[in-house]
Amino acid sequence: MRISIFGAGYVGLVAAACFAESGNTVVTVDVDEARIEGLKQGIIPIYEPGLKEMVLRNQTEGRLSFTTDAVAAIQSSLITFIAVGTPPGEDGSADLKYVLGVARQIGQAMTGYKIIVDKSTVPVGTADKVRVAIAGELALRGVDLEFDVVSNPEFLKEGAAIDDFMKPDRVVIGTDNVRTAELMKELYDPFMRKQNRMIVMDIRSAEMTKYAANAMLATRISFMNQIANLCERMGADVAAVREGIGSDSRIGYGFLFPGPGYGGSCFPKDVKALIRTAEECSYDFLLLKAVEDVNERQKEVLADKLINILGVHNDQQPLRGKTIACWGLSFKPRTDDMREAPAITLIERLLNAGATVRAHDPEAILEAKKLFGERVEFSHNQYDILDSADALVVVTDWNEYRNPDFDRIMTALKTPLIVDGRNLYKPNRMAAAGFSYIPLGRSYGGISEVK
């Protein structure tokens, strides 16, 4: 099939590469001329494992191209995906100006039957607005052309997006038209060779499914972080608790790891948007408000621990003269995405408390420099930042941090203190090695200060 995809961001690029990989002819459209020129030269603007190789291969083989010419892209394709950003407004609602802008362009340029697919994460009712925008432009032109609008939400995990697209848990298609459903099934058939995981439903239910999925996952994360905080106070081990509840088939193990809070481009934005959507329907979504509140508080936990242990009490800058080494900047491993990352809250708190902050991340240093500039010392070597530091804090669970050289860490640190925001290490092993080890959700022997 011939496909056009509007938006050369995370979702658009992954979808374009994967559709081209399955034999379709795909043109990706973006208004950012510099981004398009870079993509034509093989410069991928985001880090996602396997994406660069797939993009380059399909460009070379002629199935994938990039352009700023929206009209040509629309007129050359049967299916047009809208995968542009929906940034949160001041009230938390999703801003649809880019989605509806593309819809109007489609109405202005289309010359025959077309399927328009909402791939962006959008509120319930957006497909109706897209349909009205296209119909309005057709009316201004005085033409009557048939088209269908489909909701096809994405369920990609950053760091595993290629696998998620090529081997999906499910593909949700929202449409009221049987013919359109069959065309979408044909498009996705190469990804369903082992098992048919296509779910066809009405459009509004498809739009709600995306928000409901992310809200559920965010809820599990906030719930487990609350359990972890309670475990610390009661002398329980959250790792054992997770094993105990996760073994229940009704619950499972996924998204039950305690940590410094969720971040990224999806969970924070989608939780806010669903709360706002509920408010527009005069419904008070109390649970999600609590989920959001818990997450914001959880982002403060690592800084609280460091200040309580190392800080000078009753001082406006309790960590003045202290150096903190941070392992991890991105909101999760295998991505350079720092949007809403817990590391941002942590580092700002540490800097405001007077600390010198050094940081390492396998992929996100360039993004972090945009945020912190010269206020933070960065290194591409995870051990270089440890020299004479007063503590090491683990923020992101990159594989590089899972089994480090503890002897080297012990020698480098001024104080053998590790605050582990991801519970990567065994407390008994850390104690035997001589570390003051502060995990989440585990009693750590009543350590109150390490001066």
Q: Tell me the pLDDT tens digit for each residue of 276-287.
A: 999 999 999 999
Angle between helices 342-352 and 301-310 (to 10 degrees): 30
* Structure tokens belonging to residue 251: 């619950």
Q: 450: Cβ–Cβ under 8 A, 6 or more apart, which residues?
A: 309, 310, 391, 415, 417, 436
* In contact, 31 and 68? CB cutoff 8 Å: yes
Average pLDDT, the chain: 95
What is the amino acid identity at position 218? Answer: A
Residue 194, pLDDT > 90, answer no
Q: Would you state the pLDDT for residue 315?
A: 85
At residue 445, does pLDDT exceed 60? no
Evaluate whether 430 touches 418 at the Cβ level (below 8 Å). Answer: yes
26: Cα within 13 Å, side-chain hemisphere:
26
pLDDT attached to residue 40:
97
SS3 content of the chain, % helix, strand, coil (to 5): 45, 15, 40
How many angstroms separate the CA atoms of 424 and 122, rounded? 36
76-95 pLDDT tens trace: 999 999 999 998 888 888 89
pLDDT class of 444 with cuts at 50, 70, 90: low
Backbone torsions φ then ψ of 406, nearest 5 degrees: -70, -30
Give the type of residue at 35.
Answer: R
Mean pLDDT for the stretch of residues 307-315: 91
Of 234, 232, 231, residue with least CA distance to 244: 231
Tally Cβ neighbours within 10 Å of residue 111.
Answer: 10
DSSP structural state of residue 418: E
Q: Which two tokens stand for residue 90?
A: 């001041």
Per-residue confidence (pLDDT) for residue 193, from 0 to 100: 82
Quote the CA–CA distance of 104 and 96 in Å, as a whole number: 12
- Region at 409 (left for phi over 0; alpha for psi -120 to 50; beta for the rest): alpha
d(C-alpha 451, C-alpha 446), whole Å: 15
Paired with 360 in beta bridges are 327
Q: Which CA distances in Å does 298 have to 128, 196, 243, 333?
A: 38, 39, 22, 19
Rg of the Cα trace of the chain? 24
The set of catalytic residues is 266
Please list, in sequence order, all residues whose beta carbon lies within 8 angstroms of the beta carbon of residue 115, skipping any fewer than 6 positions away. Answer: 78, 79, 80, 147, 148, 150, 180, 183, 184
Does the pTM of the predicted model rise above 0.85? yes
| Strand-pair category, 436-438 with 417-420 | parallel
Residue 450 has pLDDT above 60, yes or no: no
- Please check the confidence at residue 451 and state whether its pLDDT lies above 60: no
pLDDT over 70 (residue 401): yes
- Would you say 13 and 56 are in contact if contact means Cβ atoms under 8 Å apart? no
Taking every pair of Cα atoms in the chain, the longest distance, rounded to a whole number of angstroms, is 79
Per-residue pLDDT reduced to its tens digit, 99-155: 999 999 999 999 999 999 999 999 999 999 999 999 999 999 999 999 999 999 999
Q: Which two tokens stand for residue 29?
A: 């459209």
d(CA 445, CA 451): 17
Give the model's pLDDT for residue 449: 40
Amino acid at 52: K
pLDDT of 196 reads 78
Q: How many CB atoms lie within 10 A of CB 145?
A: 14
Query: DSSP characters for 142-199?
Result: T----EEEEE----PPTTSHHHHHHS-S-EEEE-S-HHHHHHHHHHHGGG-SS---EE
Q: In this structure, are residues 417 and 442 in contact, taking their beta carbons and an 8 Å threshold? A: no
pLDDT value, residue 446: 42
Q: What is the pLDDT of residue 448?
A: 39
pLDDT band at residue 447 using 50, 70 and 90 as cut-offs? very low
